[in-house]
Amino acid sequence: MYSTGMTFKLKSGCYPEYKKAHDELWPDMVEALNANEVNMVIHHYHDRLFLYATAPSQEHMERSHQGPVADRWGEYMATLMDTDDEGKAIVEDLEEAFAIGVFKIESPN
């Protein structure tokens, strides 16, 4: 199993639109995530979002975020989040600090 965590910052006052967009997630995005067995949860704290997701593999995760609908979604989300000079949402990967249970991946020895 592959897991990932990341954080990003919303532009001031954009949380209600961000929340609504995810409450009404586009069917094509739902289909892409489900087809790739992606499980995801996003938590909100002040102007910060924390995403945690799992998938059978990193390839599954990457496939779920490819194609025209994913590109449109990314462009839309960039209007709500802090962006870099190219207009892409600034996403910071989180280092795993601890894992237990199904999230613990044993290193091969």
Question: Taking the CA atoms of the chain, what radius of gyration do you get in angstroms?
Answer: 15
Active site residue 46: no
Query: What digits encode the pLDDT tens for the residues 1-37?
Result: 899 999 999 999 999 999 999 999 999 999 999 999 9
96: phi then psi, degrees, rounded to nearest 5: -70, 125
The one catalytic residue in 22, 44, 46, 65 is 22
The pTM assigned to this predicted structure is: 0.86
Q: 59-63: which pairs have CB atoms within 8 A and are 24 or more residues apart? A: 60/2, 60/36, 61/2, 61/4, 61/36, 63/32, 63/36
Average pLDDT over residues 79-94: 94
Cβ distance 54 to 2 under 8 Å? Answer: yes
Query: Tokens 């449109």, residue?
Result: 72
Q: Is 49 exposed, middle or buried (0-12, 13-18, 19+ CB in 10 A)?
A: buried
